[in-house]
Amino acid sequence: AQKITQTQPGMFVQEKEAVTLDCTYDTSDPSYGLFWYKQPSSGEMIFLIYQGSYDQQNATEGRYSLNFQKARKSANLVISASQLGDSAMYFCAMRGGGSYIPTFGRGTSLIVHP
Amino acid sequence: DTEVTQTPKHLVMGMTNKKSLKCEQHMGHRAMYWYKQKAKKPPELMFVYSYEKLSINESVPSRFSPECPNSSLLNLHLHALQPEDSALYLCASSQELAGAQYFGPGTRLLVL
Digitized pLDDT (tens) for each residue of chain A, 114 residues in all: 789 999 999 999 999 999 999 999 999 889 999 999 999 999 999 999 999 999 989 999 999 999 999 999 999 999 999 999 999 999 999 998 778 788 999 999 999 999
Strand, coil or helix: B12: strand
Side chain identity, residue B100: A
Side chain identity, residue B26: H
- Mean pLDDT (chain B) is 94
Residue of B40, B51, B89 to mutate, interface with A, max A Cβ within 10 Å: B40
Q: Which residues of chain A does B100 touch, with a Cβ-Cβ cutoff of 8 Å?
A: 35, 47, 50
Is some CB atom of chain B closer than 8 A to the CB atom of A33?
yes
Q: Which residues pair with A52 in a beta bridge?
A: A33
pLDDT at A98: 75
Torsion sign (Cα): A51, B30, B23, B111:
negative
Task: For chain B, list residues whose CB is within 8 angstroms of any CB belonging to chain A.
Answer: 2, 40-43, 45, 48, 56, 88, 90, 92, 97-98, 100-106, 108
Residue B110 has pLDDT above 90, yes or no: yes
Say which of A44, A95, A100 has its CB closest to residue B103. Answer: A44
Q: How near does any CA of chain B get to the CA of A47, in Å?
A: 6
Residue of B101, B102, B108, B110 to mutate, interface with A, max A Cβ within 10 Å: B101
Element (H, E) at B90: strand B87-94
Our CA angle for B15, B87, B47, nearest 5°, is: 95
Strand, coil or helix: B109: strand
